Structure 1
Amino acid sequence: MLSPVRGTGVSAQREEVSNGDSALPRAGDSALPRAGDSTLPRAGDSALPPPAPTPAASAANAAQAHPGTAVPLLNIANVLTVLRIAIVPVFLWALFADGGHDSGWRITAFVLFFVASVTDRIDGQLARKYGLVTDFGKLADPIADKALIGAALVGLSMLGDLSWWVTAVIAVRELGITALRFSVLRHGVIPASRGGKLKTLVQSLAIGMYVLPLPDALGIASAAVMAVAVALTVVTGIDYVVQSVRLRSHGRLHVR
């Protein structure tokens, strides 16, 4: 008797399919890369290289990456600070020239005072932008400000243009804060604060108005600006005292 012949064609193919060994893609499979594959560019990715940093950014980044790297003492920011100190005696000479009330010399004194005041803003910006901040600059910058402001106040009071009590209040505060800075040096350096910079700006504006040979009608405006300067002088002086106490207590400057 003949045995039934087993199918070897379609039946065999069905067996292969049922065993899962088919070369055909299964339902749900895709030849396309799936979302999340590393070969696909992600949203926000760009083939363009990042822009090259500017020289200022490179200098600042280098200073942050290597905090132990010493910043050269002889740099443009410190040179401008020293220049501001050197202008002080020249300013006084122009202020007192020809009796101290000649319009031409008073305008010359104002120009010198203005140039010195502008360098105060420029040297700070350069130091921060190019990573040229030094302990010398932190100390010399406010000292240069006080030398210029103090010389102008004393000169104006000697000429009778400004009351001595205004000069005394500002001078005592400035000298006291300078001594305070030196007394806490072993604990750290107290940098000039924003309030201190605002105080210096208003003081410079008020002194400039007094130095210029302005008409008497503007005397009230000059006195009002000077009153604001005196108030800022007292308030910021108290703030520096608080900072020095914190520096002594914690060994570091309280950052706000």
Structure 2
Amino acid sequence: MTAAKPVPLLNAANVLTVARMVLVPVFVLCVVASRMTHDAWQIAAGLIFVVASATDYVDGWIARAHNLVTSFGKVADPIADKALTGAALVLLSIYDRLPWWVTLVILIREWGVTALRFWVLRHGVIAASRGGKVKTALQILGIGWYLAPLPAAFAAVGPWIMFAAVAVTVVTGLDYVARAIRIRRASLSTAGGAPHPAPAEAPAVAPQADEPVA
């Protein structure tokens, strides 16, 4: 039997992931330069945020379609995703565009789900849900809406989008907690109290693409 060909570290999926990480400080600089009052810088920040968010979907698709999942991608992809979203939320709160409680709820949920994944990693993988994908889409739409220098009538829609994002974020977060507990209990029950050993490499179809939309 022919051994599986190793996946090169330098591949299209990882390049896009690194590009997203590089765009995070550029995005931050644009927001700071705009002070959320300078339209040109706000537009630049919004475009960077949208482009960087889009690479999250593209690199996941490339990794799945061409079997380019690597250990680096599994770690760097969710970090880049959460760094981008987290930076945007914190900056919007700093400039009084978004209540701090919204930022804290979303960030606690995002990093909490990541911690849950590591907690149950020895017992199984928590697959991404449809609700997680909806949550991600609403967060991106909401943040993009707040970043754009819109007329007051259109800007008033932003809080409703973000409210929907927060609601789905909380609901899916609770769902992940319940699923993590079930996976851990089922694993311990099946093994008679001993967890199953974690595989050396997770399936190529899941981690890099699914983690950001949890």
The alignment's TM-score, normalised by the length of structure 1, stands at 0.66
On the 8 A contact 1:199/1:232 being kept in 2, the answer is yes
Residue in structure 1 matching 2:117, options 181, 197, 210:
181
Secondary structure of the 1:100 match is coil
* CA 1:67–1:104: 2 relative to 1, 3 Å: farther
| Deviation (angstroms), 1:67 | 8.5
Q: Aligned partners of 1:247 and 1:85: how far apart in 2?
A: 32
Q: Does 1:122 align with 2:58?
A: yes
Specify whether residues 158 and 109 from structure 1 end up closer, same or farther in structure 2 by C-alpha distance, changes over 3 A only.
Answer: same
- Distance in 1 separating the partners of 2:174 and 2:2: 35
Tell whether the 8 Å contact from 1:73 to 1:136 is kept in structure 2 after alignment. Answer: yes
Give 1:88's aligned residue.
Answer: 24
Aligned length: 190
User: Relative to 1, partners in 2 of residues 1:238 and 1:109: Cα closer, same or farther, differing over 3 Å?
Assistant: same
Residues of 2 paired with 1:170 and 1:228: CA distance? 12
Matches within 5 A, 1:92-241: 92-241=28-177
Cα contact 2:24–2:83 (8 A) shared by 1: yes
Deviations 1:52-75 (A, max 9, x none): xxxxxxxxxxxxx97955433332
Aligned to 2:67, the other structure's residue is in SS state coil
Q: Distance in 1 between matches of 2:157 and 2:38?
A: 22
| CA shift for structure 1 position 236 | 1.6
For 1:229, give the aligned amino acid: A
TM-score under structure 2 length normalisation: 0.78
Change (3 A) 1:136 1:186: farther
CA contact (8 A) 2:34 2:42 kept: no
Distance (Å, rounded) in 2 between the aligned partners of 1:238 and 1:135: 28
Moved over 4 A (4+): 65-69
Compare relative contact order (CA 8 Å, sep 6+) and give the higher one, 1 or 2: 2
1:171 and 1:190 map into 2 onto residues whose CA distance is 19
**Aligned partners of 2:2, 2:167: CA distance in 1, in Å?**
41
Aligned equivalents of 1:66, 1:242: Cα separation in 2: 41
**Please, what is the CA RMSD of the aligned residues?**
2.5
The structure whose Rg is larger is: 1
Q: Structure 1: 5+ residue runs without aligned partners?
A: 1-64
After alignment, is 133-142 or 227-236 more displaced? 133-142
2:99 & 2:53 partners in 1: Cα distance?
Answer: 22
For the residues of structure 1 that align with 2:3 and 2:37, how far apart are their CA atoms? 52
Larger relative helix fraction: 2
